[in-house]
């Protein structure tokens, strides 16, 4: 078989798989029956030998499968992940339920501690990672900005966790890759210093802006019983009509986001509101994408994000990203965060 034919078959397979992901209730390729037990057996923490076995199994189904196809199949064979998301959604709260108040002007009364979480990776390494949790003292942050014109942060707590991630990154399943170390960091903080446990967490990842309306921010919020907000630097395209295509969102953002605080609500053809594109500052025209995580409305999520904004990325996320990258540089000699 020549390279052109192989490439053509690969494109055909990828196109078919991508289409079936959008429409199949189990997000499986069409040639797979979710009622048939999948072998080899599911293992959430596979060894190298088990990964090799999975790879051989995928190639037995699709001989021309590339590494990316293998990674896609590796998780899609496991209906377990989608099932767990649907079960956790039953505990998902989308109204305001927290220990501070937020008025229409964005005034946050009673908010003392806000956290940011993120993971960073060494260059050319998708398995080793560093999870980071930072806690900021919110009133002090505001005083520094408004009175002292000081952009530095009062980070009162920071912690890191070295992890080895056994699952590859696949859009829509980020939580199964990253939520465990973030939960470990939050549990450690709650046990060591419960008095500064965050009242709300900004997560570098999506919340409702997700194919099944349950991204990393939702997952972490439900499992930790903590209010969370999803903050993404890039738009995750959702299959819900022409208004949520990448080109349409870019066009609407250019038209509607003229100044700091302007937002464009991300609403699909179904009427579902997934989140909002939000311009944070006058000097940063590119928006961030804010979505509900857990125990917050979209309006509150936008107000909290703006209240924590000095630059394009809210300070809790900026701090977690910067500190985790620095940790990785010191340990591995180079690193990267999420795009």
The tens digit of pLDDT for each residue in 66-77 reads 444 444 444 444
CA distance 124 to 199: 35
Cα–Cα distances (Å) from 30 to 16, 26, 128, 339, in that order, read 8, 10, 33, 31
- Residue 46 has a pLDDT of 60
3-state secondary structure at position 98? coil
Helix (H) or strand (E) holding 319: helix 315-332
Task: Write out the residue range of the structural domain in which residue 46 sits.
Answer: 3-77
143 and 231, same domain (yes or no):
yes
116 and 164, same domain (yes or no):
yes
State which of 61, 77, 93 marks the end of a domain.
77
69 and 129, same domain (yes or no):
no
Are 231 and 204 in contact by the 8 Å Cβ rule? The answer is yes
154 and 22, same domain (yes or no):
no
- Residue 168 has a pLDDT of 74
Are 238 and 209 in contact by the 8 Å Cβ rule? The answer is yes
- Within-domain flag for 71: yes
- Within-domain flag for 139: yes
139 and 284, same domain (yes or no):
yes
- Within-domain flag for 168: yes
- Within-domain flag for 245: yes
Q: In a structure prediction context, what are the per-residue pLDDT tens digits for the chain, which is 339 residues long?
A: 444 333 333 322 222 233 223 322 333 333 333 343 333 444 555 667 766 665 554 444 444 444 444 444 444 445 556 777 778 888 999 999 999 988 888 788 899 999 999 999 998 777 889 999 999 998 765 555 454 455 445 789 999 999 988 777 777 778 888 999 999 999 999 999 999 999 999 999 999 999 889 999 999 999 999 999 999 999 998 999 999 999 999 999 999 999 999 999 999 999 999 999 999 998 989 999 999 999 999 999 999 999 998 899 999 999 999 999 999 999 887 656 665
- Residue 79 has a pLDDT of 56
Q: What is the total count of domains within the chain?
A: 2
275 and 150, same domain (yes or no):
yes
Helix/strand/coil percent split, the chain, to 5: 40, 20, 40
- Within-domain flag for 268: yes
In Å, how far from its chain's centre is CA 138? 23
232 beta partners: 289
- Within-domain flag for 88: no
56 and 205, same domain (yes or no):
no
State the average pLDDT for the chain: 78
3-state secondary structure at position 209? coil
153 and 21, same domain (yes or no):
no
Are 214 and 92 in contact by the 8 Å Cβ rule? The answer is yes
What's the chain's Rg over C-alpha atoms? Answer: 21
- Residue 323 has a pLDDT of 94
- Within-domain flag for 96: no
Rounded (5°) CA angle 31-37-39: 90
3-state SS of 215-280? Answer: CHHHHHHHHHCCCEEEEECCCCCCCCCHHHCHHHHHHHHHHHCCCCCCEEEEECCCCCEEEEEECC
- Within-domain flag for 39: yes
Query: 216: domain CATH number?
Result: 3.30.2170.10
67 and 105, same domain (yes or no):
no
Q: Where are the alpha helices (DSSP H) in 24-96?
A: 48-61, 67-76, 79-89
């Amino acid at each position: 078989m020549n390279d052109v034919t192989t490439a053509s078959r690969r494109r055909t397979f990828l196109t078919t798989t991508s289409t079936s992901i959008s429409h199949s209730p189990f997000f499986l390729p069409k040639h797979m029956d979710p009622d048939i037990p999948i072998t080899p057996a599911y293992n959430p923490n596979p060894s190298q030998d088990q990964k090799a076995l999975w790879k051989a199994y995928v190639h037995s189904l699709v001989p021309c499968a590339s590494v990316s196809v293998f990674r896609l199949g590796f998780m899609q064979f496991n209906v377990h992940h989608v099932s767990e998301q649907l079960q956790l959604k039953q505990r998902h709260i989308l109204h305001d339920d927290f220990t501070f108040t937020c008025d229409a002007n964005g005034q946050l009364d009673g908010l003392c501690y806000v956290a940011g979480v993120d993971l960073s990776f060494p260059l050319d390494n998708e398995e080793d990672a560093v999870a980071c949790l930072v806690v900021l003292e919110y009133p002090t942050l505001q005083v520094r900005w408004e009175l002292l014109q000081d952009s530095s942060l009062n980070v009162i707590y920071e912690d890191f966790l070295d992890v080895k991630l056994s699952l590859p990154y696949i859009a829509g399943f980020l939580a199964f890759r990253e939520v465990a170390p973030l939960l470990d960091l939050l549990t450690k903080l709650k046990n060591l210093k419960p008095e500064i446990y965050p009242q709300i967490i900004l997560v570098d990842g999506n919340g409702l802006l997700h194919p099944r309306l349950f991204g990393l921010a939702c997952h972490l919020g439900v499992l930790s019983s903590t209010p969370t907000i999803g903050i993404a630097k890039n738009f995750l395209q959702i299959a819900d009509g022409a208004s949520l295509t990448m080109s349409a969102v870019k066009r609407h953002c250019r038209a509607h986001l003229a100044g700091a605080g302007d937002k464009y609500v991300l609403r699909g053809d179904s009427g579902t509101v997934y989140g909002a594109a939000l311009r944070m500052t006058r000097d940063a025209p590119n928006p961030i994408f804010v979505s509900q995580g857990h125990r917050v409305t979209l309006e509150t999520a936008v107000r909290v994000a703006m209240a924590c904004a000095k630059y394009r990325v809210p300070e809790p996320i900026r701090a977690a990203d910067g500190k985790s990258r620095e940790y990785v540089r010191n340990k591995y000699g180079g690193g990267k965060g999420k795009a």
